[in-house]
Structure 1
Amino acid sequence: MRRGELYRCRDPSGVSGTGVVALLVEFPPNEDGQRWVAVNWLGHNPCIAFWPGIGELLDIHGHMGASEIRWLDTDPFAADGDPAPAGIGLHPL
């Protein structure tokens, strides 16, 4: 598992604000290679949600480049020791 933050550079919806808006944990890949993500939303409407992967989370909550994932841990399942799988890291969408 590894920890990360959803950091919002700007808030086009005007709901969650900017800065760190959620904390997340990415789980190890399942037998299909899918990495589930638990997201703890902060702020005025806190909740916990689960997503089948980082891409799906950012498709909805990335706000077309207004948000990024900031990993706090290296990726323990990366084949070459990289901190994140290809295409994901400090990940603006």
Structure 2
Amino acid sequence: DVVAAADAAAKKVVFANVGDIYITIEGGPGVAEESRIAQRRGALIIPMIRTGGASSGMFNFPVAALTKPSWASESVWNLLSDTKASPEASAIAVRMLIAQAFPH
């Protein structure tokens, strides 16, 4: 095992500083805090808005992460908040957004 943090608070800081892409599903204050840290350093945050909690804007979740980026297609972005869309459609939307953000 590799120990990267001494406690839960330090783990949040480490976790929020290692990824380029974060996909949030629901969540509470911890998810919102990790998302704020990650966003400040330029990471892509893809919130599954339809799941509620932090991912829908609660707990001071970063507002910019809830706003459609200029490079994202409207129809794909809207699937993140569409509670009537199938989970499969939402998962495909996440994949498509990642592809749009990081084209080959």
- For normalisation by structure 2, the TM-score amounts to 0.27
Of structures 1 and 2, the one with the larger relative CO (CA 8 A, separation 6+) is 1
Give the number of the structure whose alpha-carbon radius of gyration is greater. Answer: 2
* Higher helix content, 1 or 2: 2
* Higher strand content, 1 or 2: 1
- For normalisation by structure 1, the TM-score amounts to 0.29
